Amino acid sequence: MSHKKIKSALISVYYKDNLEKVIEILQKHGVTIYSTGGTFDFIKNITEVRSVESLTGYPSILGGRVKTLHPKVFGGILSRRDNDSDKTDLAKYEIPEIDLIIVDLYPFSETLASGATQEEIIEKIDIGGISLIRAAAKNFKDTLIVSSRDQYSSLVELLESKNGATDLEDRIRYAADAFEITTTYDRNISDYFASLLNKEKFTLNISPSNKLRYGENPHQKGVFFGKLDEIFTQLHGKEISYNNLLDIDAAFALINDFKEPTYAVIKHNNACGCASDANPLEAWKKALAGDPVSAFGGIIITNTSVDKQVAEEINKLFFEIILAPEYSGEALDIFKTKKNRIILNIKSNNRPKEQFRSILNGVLVQDIDSVSEDASYLKPVTKKEPTVQEISDLLFANKLVKHSKSNTIVLVKDGRLLASGVGQTSRVDALKQAIEKAKSFGFSLSGAVMASDAFFPFPDCVEIASKEGITSVIQPGGSVRDQETIDFCDSAGISMVITGYRHFKH
């Protein structure tokens, strides 16, 4: 029978917040309530409640470690209502059926994060609660499991709309949520014990899921797991695609390294335009000028508010997505003239500390590249040192090179990206690509700076750069031939600084 009236409930929770409304609706529908410990004390001030001890004939023992672990509790939860043998057992041992279980788990992760002692942490490993959740979820055909205080309001709505009853679909949904909760809980405990042994392990459990139209290509299935609404709010536009999310992620990573007003245009995970300026309108114009061809259909991100004047300039370009921390009402009206254009309001740019990708028959995990060099990282290695403006441009270029596909060379002047060569199999090819691109858009490279994501194995790149008028270079250093490159820079009057940090990105 799919539609089932709730006649009895067992409630044992750590958090009592908003529980009162649940108790009141159960009382309204004449549900018999069993409880124990602090939850029993809470409920008895609202309505009649029976203690679990009166059901089992045993008190809570071992300092509260054992309260509900008893056949008269689990028999009532796990009994199959349409099974004659189960019915006989219930009658023989005087076990009441229990239709609703409301349980949350001891706050293990919160206790761990608080810096508690090991003894305190271990005591927050739930035994009875997680057993109750698993039992009720397993018997979803007959029992409803509420396994989080976040579900209290939806439970009240459910019981109000269905007159104190539930349907099979409801019970399956709550059971699925319950197993997600227990999986995450057990994973956190497993990770804790692995840390005690200094053991590296990879586990992941992310929800909810968001099915995408398709993956990277139309013939590929695509799903995003996570809570995008914690990162941004979509104010307008069509559904976000798989490739959109890749570009959005690249945009977030890049803009996070800039403090001054900055605009960037992202295409296929690389910046094709980027500029910083105290005047946001100028920042946008300079960013677009970097590559107005690639900018078509790209993704725009900024770390500053977008007003009407800037919006009118941006709106001259066809673009898919814009991300900003704030928009004026007039700017939004301008952007919304395109029905499918995606407008995102940035809420948070807190990035995970690790990143991973599936590879072969396993997973690669690494720390994110969190190094964002400032002037203190720069070690001059040439006779000529960079000027104040060149240092500013070198740091700007180095931020861009960090977020571009390797091998990559970035050319910058006056706080704007002139051109970049990305994803090349040789550093020389990357430089040649950047030079050709800069010239195609009418930029002079005289006085520009050059950044490389990795060391120069030979002096060939600085030789080419010198011919184009580039005056300063930033690179990680570390090649056995570094001195050859430095010697050439000295002979050509080019300044060079070394950071000591490589920024490969594959």
Q: Who contacts 92 (Cβ-Cβ below 8 Å, separation ≥6)?
A: none
* Cα–Cα dist 41/165, whole Å: 26
Is residue 7 annotated as a catalytic residue, yes or no?
no
Torsion of CA 148, 151, 155, 158, to 10 degrees: -140
> Can you list the positions of beta strands (E) in 199-290?
209-211, 223-225, 232-236, 262-267, 270-276
Catalytic residue, from 138, 308, 338, 384: name it. Answer: 138
Task: Say if residues 301 and 252 touch (Cβ distance below 8 Å).
Answer: yes
Contact at 8 Å (CB) between 29 and 163?
yes
Structure tokens belonging to residue 198:
């200094």
Question: What is the token pair recorded at 441?
Answer: 């858009």
Cα distance between residue 93 and residue 107, in whole Å? 34
DSSP assignment letter at 66: B
* Residue in 5, 16, 87, 268 annotated catalytic: 268
For residue 266, what are the β-bridge partners? 271, 299
Helix, strand or coil for residue 298?
A: coil
In 303-442, alpha helices (H): 308-314, 329-335, 388-402, 427-440
Could you give the count of Cα atoms lying within 13 Å of 154 in the half-sphere of its Cβ? 15
Quick one: 43 exposed, middle or buried, by C-beta within 10 A (0-12, 13-18, 19+)?
A: buried
Q: Please report how many Cα atoms fall inside a 13 Å half-sphere around the Cα of residue 2, on the Cβ side.
A: 6
Which letter does DSSP use for residue 241 in this model? Answer: P
Helix, strand, or coil (residue 475):
strand
Q: How far apart are CA 318 and CA 314, in angstroms?
A: 8
- Any catalytic annotation for residue 268? yes
Q: Which residue numbers are catalytic?
A: 138, 268
